[in-house]
Amino acid sequence: MSLLELFCDVDDFMLNFAPQWKASQLKTGKRRERAGQLCPSEVMTILIHFHQSHYRTFKAYYTEHVQVYLTGEFPHLVSYPRFVALIPSLLVPMLAYLQNRYGACTGISFIDATSLQVCHPKRISQHRVFAVDARRGKTSMGWFYGFKLHLAVNDQGELLACCLTPGNVDDRTPVAGMVKHLRGKLFGDRGYISAPLAHLLFEQGLQLITRLRKNMKNHLMHLSDKLLLRKRAIIESIIDQLKNISQIEHSRHRSPVNFVVHLIAGLLAYSHQDKKPGLHLDQHALLAA
Which residues, 6+ apart, have CB-to-CB distance to 103 below 8 Å?
Answer: 153, 154, 156, 158, 159, 160
Summarize pLDDT for 18-53 with one digit per residue, the tens: 998 888 876 666 655 666 789 999 999 999 999 999
* pTM (predicted TM-score): 0.91
Summarize pLDDT for 172-220 with one digit per residue, the tens: 999 999 999 999 999 999 999 999 999 999 999 999 999 887 776 767 6
How far apart CA 75 and CA 246 sit, in angstroms, is 26
Confidence at residue 13, expressed as pLDDT on a 0 to 100 scale: 97
Confidence at residue 284, expressed as pLDDT on a 0 to 100 scale: 57
How far apart CA 220 and CA 218 sit, in angstroms, is 7
User: Which of 102, 229, 89, 97 has the alpha carbon at shortest distance from 156?
Assistant: 102
Confidence at residue 213, expressed as pLDDT on a 0 to 100 scale: 76
Chain-centroid distance of CA 65 in Å reads 25
- The segments of the chain whose pLDDT lies below 50 read none
Confidence at residue 22, expressed as pLDDT on a 0 to 100 scale: 85
